[in-house]
Amino acid sequence: MRVRLVPVLAAFLLVAVAALTGSAPARAVEPLVADLSSHLVAITTGFVGTDVLLFGAIEDVNGKAGADVVVVVRGPDHPDTVRRKARTGGIWINSGSAKISDAPSFYRVASTRPLNEVASTAILDRHQIGLDHLTLHLDTKDPAADPAAYRAALIRLKQRQDLYGDKVQDIGMLSQRLFRTDMHFPANVPVGTYMVEVYMIADGQVISAQTTPLVVSKVGLGADVADFAHQQGAAYGIMAVLLAVAAGWLAAVAFKKA
């Protein structure tokens, strides 16, 4: 999926003009304006991942420039289970588990500066900015283990799948007001409605915030097959068996003639 440059540049120029010249006198200028190059990530049969451009502009705060911008991309929450293995009698077995009811399916953070220089821990915790400040509710079925160990294990697993960012991504400032960053979505990105949260932070306080939805959806034949398998599971299973039998019979006939 390639970003179309003409619409993106036109939209970016509109944001730049609004930031530099201001809007109509009857309306107050918004301190933060941001948008996406596309509000849909379409997963097709040959989908290998894509980048979505986030761009925008910020206004000066109290006549001073230099406010920070932080972006949080969060996928829909899904329940997840993490299991701990222990070696007993020379065999590795599951010895404990923890269920997480609200783990984001996808999580990325971008910032103009390191998060600890942008805001206090309390502010980062309040807005769940950064993996260290992400709220996860664990139901631990393992009194012998520290719940923090299960939390760390879940984050490691998501990072290995490239669903959680292992570092804070940079946001490029094209001037004191204009900013942009590219958000990468891997081939295994889960479908659903994502929330792209953009924060404008000055003197350690959130001055303005904006939330923009982003839809990740399967399209085309793959989407039709997935919907049919989900909605008509029995019929899909029967058809899969019949197709496998037919393929085996055709292969046997072909090899017999050969």
How does pLDDT run across 133-155, given as a tens digit for each residue?
999 998 887 777 788 888 999 99
φ, ψ at 246 (rounded to 5°)? -65, -40
pLDDT of 192 higher than 50: yes
Residues 134 and 225 in one domain: no
Residues 129 and 63 in one domain: yes
- Number of structural domains the chain divides into: 2
Residue 234 to residues 76, 226, 228, 229: CA-CA distances in angstroms?
Answer: 28, 13, 10, 8
Residues 232 and 145 in one domain: no
pLDDT for 231 equals 57
- Strand 107-111's sheet: what is its strand order? 40-43, 205-218, 192-202, 68-74, 107-111, 169-170
Arithmetic mean of pLDDT, 58-66: 79
Residues 116 and 244 in one domain: no
Residues 198 and 240 in one domain: no
pLDDT for 88 equals 75
Arithmetic mean of pLDDT, 24-31: 58
pLDDT of 22 higher than 60: no
φ, ψ at 128 (rounded to 5°)? 55, 55
Of 27-41, 156-170, 190-204, the one with minimum mean pLDDT is: 27-41
Query: What is the chain's length?
Result: 258
Of 70-74, 97-101, 140-144, the one with minimum mean pLDDT is: 140-144
